[in-house]
Structure 1
Amino acid sequence: MDPRIREHADVIVDHSIDLSAGDDIVIDAHPVSEDLVVALHEAAADRGANPLVVQERLGERFRRAYLRNREEFETPSHVQALYEEMDAYIAIRGSANVTETSDVDPEVTSAYQQAQQPLLNERLSKTWCLTQFPAAANAQLAQMSTEGYENFVWDAVLKDWDAVREHQSQMVEILDPAQEVRIVSGETTDVTMSVAGNETLNDYGEKNLPGGEVFTAPVRDSVEGEVLFDKPLYHQGREVTGVRLRFEDGEVVSHSAEKNEDLLTEVLDTDEGARYLGELGIGMNRDIDRFTYNMLFDEKMGDTVHMAIGRAYEENVGEANEQNESAVHVDMIVDMSEDSYIEVDGEVVQRNGTFVFEDGFED
C-alpha cells in the first residue's frame, strides 16, 4: 500500500473528524477506494472506534439500476436510523465510471434527491468529512495519468492545515463582518448580494479534505445581477458548460447553458429553494492549480469564486436570517484570474486573483 494512503487516513481521523474511542463511524465508499477504507479501519482500531462500510451515497451501478426502474421514492427509515445512531460520517469519492448515471432521467434523480433530503440533513448534523481517493476513472476525467492524479490528490490532501487556516483567516476577517459583496468578472458577471448577519467559515481540511476556501451564505432574497460560470460543471454524470444565471430578489429568473441546458433546468426545478443561492465561496488553495471536473478540488482553486444554488449550510446562516432549504446544493465556478475583482462593502479586496493582504495586489 502506498504510504500516503495511511497518511491520508490519519489526517481524516485526527484532523478532520477527531476520532475518539467508542465512536461509531460510517464510511461511505465505492470499492475502488478499498485501500483507503482498509487504512481507515487500521486507524479506527488504533483509536478504539467502530467502523461500518456502506455504499449508500457513493454507489454507481446498483444506484443506476434502481433509478432506471423506479420513479417515486420515499425516505428509507432504516438508513435514517443508521445515520441517527452514528457519531461520524466519512464519504470517499472514487469511481469506476464517472458517467455511470448519465442515462438516468434528471426528473427521476430530482425526485430521488428530494426523498433523500432528510438523510442529508441528518448526515450534516453529525461530524463528517468528504474526501477523494485517486481512482483511475477520476484521473481519466481530469485528463491525467493515474500516477499524476495520485500525486495531485495527495499533494492537495497532505498539507500543513494549521498554516492554511492562518492564511485564510485574513479573508474571513474581511468577509465575516461585511454587509454586501460584489463579484465582477469581465463583461459577463456582475452580481451583488448581502451577507449581513451570516457567518463566514474557514475551510482548512475538516469537513472537506482537501480544504482551501472561505465561504458564507447570501441573504436569501438579496442576490441581484448576472453570472457566467465559465468553468464546466460535471453533474449526474454529464457535463454542463456556459451556465448563465440572472437573479432578481434572490431568485434565478432566467438561465441558459451552452451544453445540457435541460439538466440545469431540472436542477433549478427540483424545489423552490433550488432557484436561490445557498453559498458564496472564495477559492484560496493555489496548490490546486488545474481544473479536474471534481468540485471537491475545483471549488478550492486559487483565483476563483463559486456559488451554489440550493441548500445553505446551517452553520453559515445567522439567527436573524432565513436558511435556504433545498434537496440540492450545486456549486458552479467563476474564473477570477483576469479582468475581475471582489468588492466588499465598496472596497476591492481581490483583484485578478490577488488578495489585498498579498504581495502584488497594487500592481
Structure 2
Amino acid sequence: MISQYAELAVKVGVNIQAGQTLVIIAPLAAVDFVRLAAEKAYHAGAKNVHIEWSDDRITRLKYDLAPLEAFEEYPIWRAKGFEEMAEQGAAFLSIVASNPDLLKGVNPDKIAAANRSAGVAMQTYRNYIQADRVSWCVIAVPSPEWAARVFPEAPAEDQVNKLWQAIFEATRANLDNPTQAWQEHNSQLDHKVTILNEKRYKTLHYTAPGTALTIDLPERHLWMGGGSVNQDGTPFVANIPTEEVFTTPQRDGVNGTVRSSKPLSYGGNLIEDFSLTFEKGKVVAFTAKKGAETLQRLLDTDEGARYLGEVALVPHYSPISNMNLIFYNTLFDENASNHLALGSAYAFCLEGGKDMSKEELKQNGANDSLVHVDFMIGCEEMDIDGETADGRREPIFRNGNWAF
C-alpha cells in the first residue's frame, strides 16, 4: 500500500511528466518513502530527482544552541535554487512528517525570526506556488513522534502503523484503484465549485457556537477545489488529501468573531481553543487557552498576517472528519473542517489573478503576507449563508454540511 501511496503522490499529486525534474522536500524520517517516490518518478519519465533534506534533531539543536541572529538570516543560495528549479518548470513534492511539539519551549523570538527571514527570501518561489505556475503537492508520512501524539493510547510499537493506516484511508490510497478514485473525487469537488462560481455570492455569513462572522468576497473571486492546472496546462493535485473548495476573501471585508474547532500546529507549537475578532478585515483581538504567545507571534509576522487569505468549505461529515481523529497536522485537520487562513491569498482565486502584479492583486481585494496559515473552524453546529448581490441570503451549509 505504501507503493500505491508513492505512485499517487507522483502520478496524481505532482503528475510528473516525461523529461521533467522533480524536487522532493523531505525530512530524514521519511527516507524510505522518499527513495520509493524517487523510483516511481524515474519510472514515470522524470529526468532528475533532487532531494532537499531536513532533520528534526538538527533543527532543534539549532533552536536550542544558535544565537538569535542566526535565525534572522536565510541561505540565499537555497532560495535561488528553488527559484531556478521553478523557472525551469520543475515539480515540487513536499513530504511532511514533523513532530507537532518539535519546538515546544523554544524562544519564540527565534521562531518568529526564522519564519520572517524564510518568508522574505522564499517569496519569489512562493509566488510560483501560489499562482500555480508550477506543479506542487504536499503529502505526509508518519514519524514516531507524530504517531505517538495521534495515538497516545496505542502500544508504542503499533503507533506508526496505525498512523500509516489512517493516512492511507484519508488519501484513498487503500482503495483498489486510487487514481480512479481521485478522478471521481475531483469531479465531485468540481461540481460544488461550478455551483458556487455561478452564484457569485458577495458575502458569507457564519454562525456557530462562539462564531458570528461575515466575510465579503471580491467581485472577481473564483472558487477552486480538487485539482489544479499549471502554466503549461498540466493537471496536478496540490494537497493529498483534499476535501475543500476555497476562494479568497476581500481583504478588508471580514467582521465579527470566529472560534477554532481544532488545535493548530504552528512553528513546532500547538495553539488550542482560540478565537479571533475581526474589524474591517483585521484581527483586532484574540484569546487562546494554550499557545497564546505563539499566536501573537504569528499575528505579528507582518501586516498581512492579521488579515485572511483563504476561506475554505469542508463538510463536517467528510471522510477525514468521520475518522474522529485529530491529526495535529494541518494537511489532514483542515480537510476535516471548514477553515480559514491567515496571511497571503492565492492569486489563482481571482479571475485573471495569475497574471496580476502584487499591487493589482491588492487592488482586487487579495491579501499579501509572508505567511499562509490555515486554522480550523468547522463543527456540526455551523451554518453558512451566501448573500447575493441583491441582498438575498441562501443556505450553503446547514448543521456543518452542504445544503445543496
Task: Report if TM-score (shorter chain) is over 0.5.
Answer: yes
User: What amino acid maps onto 1:155 in structure 2?
Assistant: E
Give the secondary-structure state (helix, strand or coil) at the position aligned to 1:325: coil
Query: Does 2:107 match 1:105?
Result: yes
Equivalent residue for 2:369? 326
User: What amino acid maps onto 2:191 in structure 1?
Assistant: Q
Preserved contact between residue 337 and residue 353 of structure 1 (Cα < 8 Å):
yes
After superposition, where does 1:151-300 map in structure 2 within 5 Å?
Answer: 151-157=165-171, 158=173, 159=178, 160-176=181-197, 177-186=200-209, 188-196=210-218, 197-204=220-227, 206-284=237-315, 286-288=318-320, 289=323, 290-300=325-335
CA distance in 1, matches of 2:367, 2:101: 30
- Out of 332, 339, 343, the position equivalent to 2:385 is 343
Preserved contact between residue 280 and residue 307 of structure 1 (Cα < 8 Å):
yes
Query: Does 2:52 match 1:60?
Result: no
Preserved contact between residue 102 and residue 269 of structure 2 (Cα < 8 Å):
no
TM-score, normalized by length of structure 2?
A: 0.81
Give the secondary-structure state (helix, strand or coil) at the position aligned to 1:324: coil
CA distance in 2, matches of 1:217, 1:164: 22
Equivalent residue for 2:137? 129
CA distance in 1, matches of 2:8, 2:261: 33
Q: Identity of aligned pairs, percent? A: 30
Preserved contact between residue 14 and residue 91 of structure 2 (Cα < 8 Å):
yes
Equivalent residue for 1:352? 399
CA deviations on 1:161-211 (whole Å, 9 max, x unpaired) are 12212222233134332211111113x101111113212111358111111
State the structure with bigger RCO (CA 8 A, min sep 6), 1 or 2: 2
CA shift for structure 1 position 136: 2.6
CA distance in 1, matches of 2:282, 2:306: 5
CA shift for structure 1 position 100: 2.3
Give the secondary-structure state (helix, strand or coil) at the position aligned to 1:280: strand
- Count of residue correspondences: 347
Preserved contact between residue 83 and residue 124 of structure 2 (Cα < 8 Å):
no
CA distance in 2, matches of 1:353, 1:11: 30
CA distance in 2, matches of 1:174, 1:189: 25
The 3 A distance-change label for structure 1 pair 175 and 75 is farther
CA shift for structure 1 position 233: 1.4
CA distance in 1, matches of 2:313, 2:24: 29
CA deviations on 1:117-148 (whole Å, 9 max, x unpaired) are 24254042532111001233222111263222
Query: Does 2:53 match 1:51?
Result: no
Give the secondary-structure state (helix, strand or coil) at the position aligned to 1:267: helix
CA deviations on 1:141-160 (whole Å, 9 max, x unpaired) are 11263222211101122241
Equivalent residue for 1:361? none
Preserved contact between residue 250 and residue 277 of structure 1 (Cα < 8 Å):
yes
CA deviations on 1:271-312 (whole Å, 9 max, x unpaired) are 1001001111112472212222111011111xx311111121
Query: Does 2:4 match 1:7?
Result: yes
TM-score, normalized by length of structure 1?
A: 0.89
Preserved contact between residue 257 and residue 276 of structure 2 (Cα < 8 Å):
yes
Aligned-residue Cα RMSD (Å) equals 1.9
Give the secondary-structure state (helix, strand or coil) at the position aligned to 2:289: coil
Preserved contact between residue 60 and residue 101 of structure 1 (Cα < 8 Å):
no
CA distance in 2, matches of 1:101, 1:354: 35
CA deviations on 1:34-85 (whole Å, 9 max, x unpaired) are 2211111211221332111112xx5322223334413232342211221123
CA distance in 2, matches of 1:275, 1:291: 26
Q: Which has the higher helix share?
A: 2
CA distance in 1, matches of 2:334, 2:288: 19
CA distance in 1, matches of 2:123, 2:52: 15
Equivalent residue for 2:13? 16
Preserved contact between residue 229 and residue 243 of structure 1 (Cα < 8 Å):
yes
